[in-house]
Structure 1
């Protein structure tokens, strides 16, 4: 019981400090070490755990995602400087109307994530577009992170059949399914998440308007290279390039490449090709923008430097949280919680939903802890499901849906990254992220679990 109290206090402290605006780069390692000390006492080998466990998790995230953060930040800066983002925003405003800025950003985020673009990159790509749209519509800037969360962190991440996001890919390994598993459940869940999220965000925007609250920031987001806007076809071409090339590399090229050489690196092509596809696609899109605008861009060095700087803080904040998660996973209570949750219900659908959601919530990581939970419990879920006629496809979809609830608590890496990109604090903008990416997905998952249980159990 004391270990559980320590874990709750640890999680509560890091969430409260994140909400109050304290950098996780500082708080995460300190709270990790305090948690170890309170759990194991003087035998916790604090420095060994800090340098070998915490920093391994921290460095592992940097190793895996630094290229994505870097290319994503540079791409976003170039989209702003060339006027492409402004042209897209102007086009959307013209045809969808300014009052539909929320819908435009949600659909843009959904398109990018369904195209396979990493959640961490989506915020960078949408930054200049969303800022311009919300400013033109005079909608508070604090609503942008919640809007991006609805489009990128919810239905396209866990529910929409065929999504290439890792949260929809991981269950395939354990249930021998594909990304289109249980399409009916996935489609219903997607429609519900989208609809409820839009109702909430539009309500928030109308409430702000009634209170005479507008965009609220005075920054200028105009093209700095030309007073004439590029054509919409030229402006969207870099995004089309990312979408098309990512689809080509991930679905056509790499599946036909012999990846046995990676065995010497203790990895597989399947685990690396998704990241490689996105990095290559963004890099080519960056080159495309540079080649078309090389004569117009007078401050290329400054643009690249700004892009690099913009990538650092979000990357380090996210890495700090991953390091914290690495420490939490070493605690004895972590495995005990998994076992306890499994014993809460003989219904495999309920047991799976609870275990995945809560374990993901402990370290605020949907992908990492989804793998941990299914690695330990998937065979049990399959065994429990067989007499009830519950298919592996249903288990796949429920597992994926469940990973997208408690994962986006205040200390989640994608949440911290998105807020840092837009220069907002948890106090200013997390409430809307919480509703769109925690409350609504959990409610929808509950409905899917309830409906499926009534049919099979």
Structure 2
């Protein structure tokens, strides 16, 4: 049994190492699975075809519509010029001198409106770069500022977020995307507020030292006493970049990433059209939110779903599917609205559909591969010992859910993959434990989702690597701020809220 436990630990270490070294997760996860199987003495081929692949396929089956529609929607928003128009509208309202706030708010609006996280990163970088240049804010803060808007509260905390991280807990706890709105809103204020305070503190500190927009590389060299800036151990999935590679100079424009070598990135389309006014671009975002809200709280509950009891539907319940169905309907309505608003330019939108379909493939299969790895690890005998030891500690269901999700998200470097692995392994037991202990399943939904959005952004995270590539920065230049706003602050927020809910039962 000790050998099996050692195998699990080594397989986790291998998965982290391979991902950090730039190997696509879709390949690294099966390799790491083999290590766990060898040490446990389990059959490799049978485990791959009968455990790994069904788990991967089940994840794709459940979430493919969200990935596909999100990617298409994001690229259509880019191709129509809507995304850029939204950014400029927000900037006009907030003011270009408030570049930090304008960047966070614009990124958050797009993410909460249903645009894929990675598409938002591609869209926001050139706009944020111009805002930071006008305000003369150090360039190294761009990745952290964008990350605060897309990788934190709009992904997991805001009630009704159409991002997949907010939908996964509902599959296990029978909740919907609007679960525990009080916790979500407080968490949003804490993460967003503290994140902005940190970024403003960093801006003032760096500028007080004489660093300006164009000085990032020289400033980094001075800090480290070096004459040549190197990658400092940071690793990318892109070609020609790796340990020891020279840092790009300030004129480098990483506006595109090779998606074949980077499974976490999504392609973008250049803006082809010009919106008729500043109001129209907001309509598709409002459509996603409004339809999602209406379906979840009013339309679906009012319909007759008795036919779901038929054998051909597998006995699925509305509560298990409402969250995904609502977001799917919302994104579909938004895509149709974009087409309707651009009927004269339908031919120009074709590229958005093609690139969106291609861009959805690698991200969902990469995450599904991580889920398959988790299923393989959960199938070995040693894992049952670890699982039973966790539950035999008699801990609170909420704390157990938050802790297990945080750990697996940290290991995989993925919020959605880590959360799915944890809930596939513990979800049923956690739900039963919560019911027995009187713990709110809605609170557990919200805090579990928020926990997934904390330790997932350790340096080996594909999301972090992609964002740094897009912005032309390295870990040494910008990870300190990314880590603070997407890891430290969210983890502290979740810890505080989990403690309050556990001891007071509030919310």
C-alpha contact (below 8 Å) 2:285/2:334 kept by paired residues: yes
Of 125, 132, 136, 1:131 maps to 125
CA 1:311–1:435 in 2, change beyond 3 Å: closer, same or farther? Answer: same
C-alpha contact (below 8 Å) 2:180/2:443 kept by paired residues: no
TM-score (norm 2): 0.71
Aligned length: 439
C-alpha contact (below 8 Å) 2:67/2:364 kept by paired residues: yes
Residue 66 of structure 2: aligned partner = 68
What is the rounded CA distance, in whole Å, between the counterparts of 2:156 and 2:146 in structure 1?
Answer: 15
Residue 212 of structure 1: aligned partner = 215
C-alpha contact (below 8 Å) 1:83/1:222 kept by paired residues: no
1:71-100 CA-to-partner distances (Å, cap 9, x unmatched) read 222222222222112211211222223354
What is the rounded CA distance, in whole Å, between the counterparts of 2:351 and 2:159 in structure 1?
Answer: 42
What displacement does 1:305 show? 2.2
Residue 438 of structure 1: aligned partner = 487
CA 1:100–1:126 in 2, change beyond 3 Å: closer, same or farther? Answer: farther
1:305-329 CA-to-partner distances (Å, cap 9, x unmatched) read 2232222222222222222222122
- Secondary structure of 1:37's partner? helix
Could you list the runs of 5+ residues in structure 1 that have no partner in the other structure? Answer: none
Residue 257 of structure 1: aligned partner = 303
What is the rounded CA distance, in whole Å, between the counterparts of 1:350 and 1:127 in structure 2?
Answer: 32
Q: Give 1:141-220 correspondences, 5 Å limit.
A: 146-147=144-145, 149-156=147-154, 159=157, 165-166=166-167, 169=170, 173=174, 179-180=179-180, 183=182, 187-202=185-200, 207=206, 209=212, 212-213=215-216, 216-217=252-253, 219=255
Q: Give 1:324-343 correspondences, 5 Å limit.
A: 324-343=373-392
What is the rounded CA distance, in whole Å, between the counterparts of 1:392 and 1:80 in structure 2?
Answer: 37
What is the rounded CA distance, in whole Å, between the counterparts of 1:132 and 1:273 in structure 2?
Answer: 37
Of 49, 52, 57, 1:51 maps to 49
What displacement does 1:411 show? 7.2
Q: Give 1:402-417 correspondences, 5 Å limit.
A: 402-407=451-456, 415=463
C-alpha contact (below 8 Å) 2:126/2:255 kept by paired residues: no
- Secondary structure of 2:304's partner? coil
Of 338, 342, 349, 1:289 maps to 338
CA 1:276–1:146 in 2, change beyond 3 Å: closer, same or farther? Answer: farther
Deviates more, 1:193-202 or 1:341-350: 341-350
What displacement does 1:3 show? 2.8
Residue 24 of structure 2: aligned partner = 23
Of 230, 236, 239, 2:276 maps to 230
What displacement does 1:369 show? 2.3
What displacement does 1:179 show? 2.2
Could you list the runs of 5+ residues in structure 2 that have no partner in the other structure? Answer: 217-249, 257-267
C-alpha contact (below 8 Å) 1:160/1:187 kept by paired residues: yes
CA 1:437–1:64 in 2, change beyond 3 Å: closer, same or farther? Answer: same
Deviates more, 1:217-226 or 1:371-380: 217-226
What displacement does 1:26 show? 1.6
CA 1:438–1:196 in 2, change beyond 3 Å: closer, same or farther? Answer: same
What is the rounded CA distance, in whole Å, between the counterparts of 1:162 and 1:78 in structure 2?
Answer: 22
Q: Cα RMSD over matched residues?
A: 4.1
C-alpha contact (below 8 Å) 2:459/2:465 kept by paired residues: no
What is the rounded CA distance, in whole Å, between the counterparts of 2:72 and 2:465 in structure 1?
Answer: 15
What is the rounded CA distance, in whole Å, between the counterparts of 1:142 and 1:256 in structure 2?
Answer: 50
C-alpha contact (below 8 Å) 2:147/2:486 kept by paired residues: yes
C-alpha contact (below 8 Å) 1:21/1:427 kept by paired residues: no
C-alpha contact (below 8 Å) 1:192/1:444 kept by paired residues: yes
1:270-307 CA-to-partner distances (Å, cap 9, x unmatched) read 22232222223222222222232232455444343223
CA 1:171–1:25 in 2, change beyond 3 Å: closer, same or farther? Answer: closer
C-alpha contact (below 8 Å) 1:146/1:432 kept by paired residues: yes
1:227-247 CA-to-partner distances (Å, cap 9, x unmatched) read x55311111111111111222
What is the rounded CA distance, in whole Å, between the counterparts of 1:240 and 1:453 in structure 2?
Answer: 35
C-alpha contact (below 8 Å) 1:29/1:324 kept by paired residues: yes
Deviates more, 1:440-449 or 1:390-399: 390-399
CA 1:192–1:216 in 2, change beyond 3 Å: closer, same or farther? Answer: farther
1:212-235 CA-to-partner distances (Å, cap 9, x unmatched) read 236851649996435x55311111
- Secondary structure of 1:253's partner? helix
What is the rounded CA distance, in whole Å, between the counterparts of 2:33 and 2:306 in structure 1?
Answer: 38
What is the rounded CA distance, in whole Å, between the counterparts of 2:140 and 2:56 in structure 1?
Answer: 29
CA 1:354–1:275 in 2, change beyond 3 Å: closer, same or farther? Answer: closer
1:342-395 CA-to-partner distances (Å, cap 9, x unmatched) read 455766765564445445656642255246435214544565x57xxx877776
Deviates more, 1:345-354 or 1:250-259: 345-354
Deviates more, 1:423-432 or 1:188-197: 423-432
TM-score (norm 1): 0.78
What is the rounded CA distance, in whole Å, between the counterparts of 2:214 and 2:34 in structure 1?
Answer: 45
C-alpha contact (below 8 Å) 1:357/1:406 kept by paired residues: yes
What is the rounded CA distance, in whole Å, between the counterparts of 1:32 and 1:81 in structure 2?
Answer: 40
